[in-house]
Amino acid sequence: MNEKINELPDTIRLTYIIAIILLLAFVIFIAFIVILYNKRQLFFIQQQQLKESEHQNQLLQKELEKQKLIEKERERISHDMHDDLGAGISALKLQAEFLKQRAEDEELKNDIEELLKTSEEMNLSMREMLWSLNSGNDTLGSFIDYAKIYAQNFLKRTTIVIITESGKIAEKTTISTEQRRNLFLCLKEALNNIYKHSQASEIKLSFSQKEKEFIMKISDNGIGINHKNPEGNGLRNMKRRMHEQNGRCEITTENGTHLFFIISF
């Protein structure tokens, strides 16, 4: 090609060379514009990502502040309930005890005894609410300890023997307040159903943890599920509670009844 250019007249050759130079300059200019445009686009994207990151950080900070306010409010309600309701229930029990000692009519004594039972139930319910409100209990270890104590107290006036055991548990693992409360309500429902319907003489309450799953298992040696009505309101409620927590409730009926409550975290 160089030989062909050399064979051309000087003016045409010069024009040809200038055209090539201009073409190369144009290509270089276009490449420069493309590179500059890409750099500007990259800078713009980085700025947008930075703004989005700052926005997300602000939202996270607001959410953390909101959670702190909620926890503070929960603690305030917990203290108020303990101080006001707790004192009121204690005063009611003392007054009922005093009236019972002075009463001579047996029917009146029976009524006062019912009042004492009601006040004791109110006291237990209040303790459960205080426990559920306390964010310091949002760990697996705290839940397991409370669940064992509740189960033992619930069955201590019955002939049912309870056995509790725990596998390898990371006790400091955090669970949400809702998960903890719904697991506890499922425990209450299950124990109540076993007491009323199973004719069991033994209950085994066990806890285990597998990777990111926590499992509470309640087994009894009773007569099992009524196959004509295998899923009453109690079992439906337990399944619904677990489903609302993105967990599940499973049941087997081999050698008694075995309930599994499983949550992920």
CATH classification of the domain holding 242: 3.30.565.10
Closest Cα partner for 214 from 257, 238, 183? 183
Last residue of a domain, one of 45, 62, 79: 62
Higher pLDDT, 126 or 147: 147
Same-domain pairing of 263 and 155:
yes
pLDDT digit string, tens, across residues 194-229: 998 889 999 999 999 988 899 999 999 998 876 555
Distances (CA, A) of 16 to 2, 113, 157, 180: 11, 116, 109, 84
Question: Is residue 72 situated within a structural domain?
Answer: no
Supply the pLDDT for residue 9.
Answer: 63
Phi, psi (degrees; rounded to nearest 5) at 143: -60, -45
N-terminal to C-terminal alpha carbon distance within the chain: 73
Query: pLDDT at residue 83 above 70?
Result: no
Supply the pLDDT for residue 54.
Answer: 84
Question: Is residue 23 situated within a structural domain?
Answer: yes
Supply the pLDDT for residue 227.
Answer: 57
Query: pLDDT at residue 103 above 80?
Result: no
Same-domain pairing of 159 and 251:
yes
Question: Is residue 123 situated within a structural domain?
Answer: no
Largest CA distance in the chain: 139
Q: Rounding to the nearest 10 degrees, give the CA dihedral for residues 18, 20, 22, 27.
A: -170
Number of domains within the chain: 2
Model confidence band, residue 93 (pLDDT cutoffs 50, 70, 90): confident
List all residues 6 or more positions away from 226 whose beta carbon is below 8 Å from its beta carbon: 197
Same-domain pairing of 47 and 145:
no
Question: Is residue 14 situated within a structural domain?
Answer: yes
Question: Is residue 80 situated within a structural domain?
Answer: no
Same-domain pairing of 142 and 263:
yes
Closest Cα partner for 140 from 100, 97, 114, 173? 173
State which residues form the domain around 228. 138-265
Supply the pLDDT for residue 262.
Answer: 95
Last residue of a domain, one of 16, 42, 62: 62
Supply the pLDDT for residue 162.
Answer: 94
Q: State the helix-helix crossing angle for 86-102 and 106-133, rounded to 10 degrees.
A: 170
Same-domain pairing of 146 and 254:
yes
pLDDT digit string, tens, across residues 174-199: 888 889 989 999 999 999 989 988 89
Question: Is residue 88 situated within a structural domain?
Answer: no
pLDDT (mean) for 112-139: 79
Question: Is residue 119 situated within a structural domain?
Answer: no
- The pair of three-digit structure tokens given for residue 10, joined into one six-digit string: 């000087």
Query: How far apart are alpha carbons 29 and 18 in whole angstroms?
Result: 16
Percent of the chain with pLDDT over 70: 87
Helix or strand (DSSP H, E) at 257: strand 257-264
Last residue of a domain, one of 46, 62, 78: 62
Question: Is residue 27 situated within a structural domain?
Answer: yes
Of 23-37, 71-85, 152-166, where does the model show the most confidence? Answer: 152-166
